[in-house]
Structure 1
Amino acid sequence: METIPYIGTEFVKKHLSYAELIPAVRRALQEYSSNRSVQPLRTAVSVPGANGTLLTMPSYSSTDKTLMTKLIGLYPDNTKHNLPTHHCYITLFDENTGVLKCLMDGEIITAMRTAAATVVGTQAVFEGKPRVLCIIGSGLQAKSHIAAFSEAYTFEKVKIWGRDHQKAENVCSEFKQLVMENCETIEDAVKDADVIVTVTHASEPILKGAWVKKGAHINCVGACRPTWRECDDECLTNATVYCDSVESASNESGDVILSKAEVYGEVGEVLLGMKPLRPAHHTFFKSLGLGLEDAVAANIVWKAVEENAQRKS
């Protein structure tokens, strides 16, 4: 029986860095907006009895010559069973033959490429030097975003809020090199923040636009279904709204769909000079996540696999 290589979490952690990933994700967003990739809208299969969803995200990067599909099991109720809410795997294929090259753990890749995309989105549309970062959420994505932003910026303070105050405190303790503040309310966390990141499982708005100061930038990362929201109408209607994919935002983002806000353009279009920045009270980036981002991240890891194999041969 033929054995398909499995690339586990520890190998991915060791060989994927933000220093390499952030530029790769920047290229991926540009590739997408210039129509040089093959990137269909993700598909979702509901499992109503378990409050679960299976997502499939195929993608081909012509720049990185990488063909892959990501498979995600999204089960919010898993917290009741002390299990992860996401199960994520990447299948990597040979672009010339379609042969399956490996199965790769996708949890770390998803966390890191999502955070890298948020950093790229912020760099593209936020003008000036941000002093205060606000993270709303206290899970894996909260940690990955703090780590990614620490690679790209130097903040005077990082403020965090989570439904579980102790869990948020635990996140603070993991970043002792930073000035961290665990806030009692979302409003306290947001009110003086230059950059805001929402990474929650919220299905109803928890962030109010009235709390957001002029000139701030919101990165809306959670709420990946058409009926879910993290942000109220004012967060979007009072902002210039950018996204990673107009198609995805128009079909999958409850924040965009339910607010009826205009999506001005894609971050990739800004990076390519196709869309100039447009002034507003604040800026807003809706990140749904592209399979193309997973492809470039998986390609970095796969190159490390090949290099290891060459050294051993």
Structure 2
Amino acid sequence: MTPTFDAEQTAALLPYPQLVQALRRAVAELADGAILCPARQVEPLQDGALLLSMVATARDIAVHKLISVVPNNPARGLPTISGRVSVVDAVDGTVRLVLDGATVTGRRTAALSMLGVEVLLGRAPRHVLIVGAGTQAANHAQALSELYPQARLSVAARSAEAAAHFCARFPFAAPALLSEPAPDADLVITCTTSRQPVYLHPAQAGRLVIAVGAFKPDAAEIGADTVRASRVFVDDPHGARHEAGDLLLAGVDWAGVQGIAAALAARPMADTEAVLFKTVGCAAWDLAAARTALARS
């Protein structure tokens, strides 16, 4: 029987410190061609829902993630994202284990943001503003509490009630107003499903903005003026050209957009210039999570 792990078990196999380091390795390998990651296949379901199929291969393992994204599911009492990640031995082709797809997606996305902090900010953030109060915001709050426990955490949501409910789950966080972000916030992470920009504040040196939520070409969380005034990095340069609505709708000059791999060996820059890190996700990051899980299973 192939070992199959539920959401709680999958989370236990993916501690954030180890996951961040596995992502650092995968970022470099993807850039060098040691990991192959074709464009994900996206097929429509009913009422705006999507079925996503994502594959990545390396010399040691391969992964296939099949997940559904159903925006109307919360009203049904069901999760927005569900599915599984199959981890395949690259030598003999056997399925070594199966992980919960939503948990892998949530934790590797938050860990990728933490890698962005490590690489682009280069120090522990002092005051973090999370925009959003859903599952992805919760993943980021947990990652921040584990990796940067001294950082102040503020949360802005679509309503004061949503922010208060989130902060009740995470007592180390405090509600905030998106219209008036704290001047000393040096890290902003947007984790919403909004199709229209929710963060419209001017780009500024000393503040790293990480945009996580939008993954469609016609959806954006960050205002166009902020995007154009920032030095822009993306997690997946190929996928971003098709899916990073924040950049596409801003008409960004792609010649100036760099992959996060380009910053791995560079000096941190967010303290001296405005930096935006846009992530869209790819199966290479699921492969990094699979390596972490295999090492601990």
Shared fold (TM-score greater than 0.5)?
yes
The offset of 1:131, in angstroms, is: 1.5
Structure 1 residue matching 2:257: 3-state secondary structure: strand
1:282 aligns with 2:274: yes
Q: Deviations over 1:198-257 (max 9, x none)?
A: 0111111111033x5432110000110111111110121010000111111111111111
Residue equivalent to 1:225:
216
CA contact (8 A) 1:226 1:251 kept: yes
Residue equivalent to 1:33:
31
Distance in 2 of aligned mates of 1:58 and 1:128? 33
Residue equivalent to 1:54:
51
The offset of 1:154, in angstroms, is: 4.3
Distance in 2 of aligned mates of 1:89 and 1:247? 24
Instruction: Judge which range, 290-299 or 125-134, deviates more.
Output: 125-134
Q: What TM-score, normalized to structure 1?
A: 0.87
CA contact (8 A) 1:135 1:158 kept: yes
Distance 1:252 1:35, change over 3 A: same
Structure 2 residue matching 1:209: 3-state secondary structure: coil
Give the AA of the match of 1:33. A
The offset of 1:22, in angstroms, is: 1.1
Distance 1:144 1:78, change over 3 A: same
1:209 aligns with 2:201: yes
Q: Select the residue among 295, 299, 302 that pairs with 2:291.
A: 299
Within 5 Å, give how 1:195-274 maps onto structure 2: 195-210=187-202, 212-262=203-253, 263-273=256-266
Give the AA of the match of 1:37. I
The offset of 1:139, in angstroms, is: 1.2
Q: Select the residue among 4, 10, 29 that pairs with 2:8.
A: 10
The offset of 1:164, in angstroms, is: 4.3
CA contact (8 A) 1:160 1:189 kept: no
CA contact (8 A) 2:219 2:246 kept: yes
Distance in 1 of aligned mates of 2:156 and 2:4? 36
Q: Deviations over 1:235-286 (max 9, x none)?
A: 210100001111111111111111111343111121045x985997510000
CA contact (8 A) 1:240 1:278 kept: no
The offset of 1:192, in angstroms, is: 3.6
Give the AA of the match of 1:296. A
Structure 2 residue matching 1:188: 3-state secondary structure: coil
CA contact (8 A) 2:56 2:287 kept: yes
CA contact (8 A) 1:138 1:167 kept: yes
CA contact (8 A) 1:209 1:233 kept: no
Give the AA of the match of 1:52. A
Distance 1:128 1:22, change over 3 A: closer
Distance in 1 of aligned mates of 2:274 and 2:9? 39
Distance 1:9 1:222, change over 3 A: same
Answer with 1 or 2: which has the greater Rg.
Answer: 1
Instruction: Judge which range, 77-86 or 229-238, deviates more.
Output: 77-86
Structure 2 residue matching 1:54: 3-state secondary structure: strand
The offset of 1:4, in angstroms, is: 4.1
The offset of 1:98, in angstroms, is: 2.2
The offset of 1:111, in angstroms, is: 1.1
Give ranges in structure 2 of 5+ residues lacking alignment: none
Q: Deviations over 1:11-61 (max 9, x none)?
A: 2122321121111111111211222211112121112x3211111110113
